[in-house]
Amino acid sequence: MKKELIQSIREKEIQLAKLKEHIEKSSVCSDLYNKVVLEKAILKKELENSQKNKIIENIKNLIPRKKTLICDYFKK
């Protein structure tokens, strides 16, 4: 899964490099370039999410955080 995502990101980078030359020549190329940029961003986010440790993230969500009250700002 991880290798497939990395390979897909590389393919998108190659597509972007090829499309970059033709962005100003036609609106179709510009739209396609924007679409590929979005697809690449989605793939990067999926890769980032796959690398996170799900167990640690769940534990962090369970631990209560100390809440700051407005009166805490006025204490000396």
DSSP 72: G
Average pLDDT value for residue range 7-35? 90
Q: How many structural domains does the chain have? A: 1
**Mean pLDDT, the chain, whole residue set:** 86
Question: Does 56 score more than 70 pLDDT?
Answer: yes
Instruction: Indicate the pTM of the whole model.
Output: 0.65
Written as six digits, the tokens of 53 are 């440790």
Q: Is the dihedral of CA 23, 24, 26, 31 positive or negative?
A: positive
Of 50, 34, 32, 39, which is closest to residue 12 (Cα–Cα)? 39
C-alpha separations of 49 from 37, 54, 56 in Å: 18, 9, 13
Which range among 10-14, 22-26, 59-63 shows the weakest confidence by mean pLDDT?
59-63
Which range among 31-35, 45-49, 63-67 shows the weakest confidence by mean pLDDT?
63-67
Residue 10 belongs to domain spanning: 2-73
> Using 50, 70 and 90 to split pLDDT, how confident is the model at 37?
very high
The residue to which tokens 């979005």 are assigned: 38
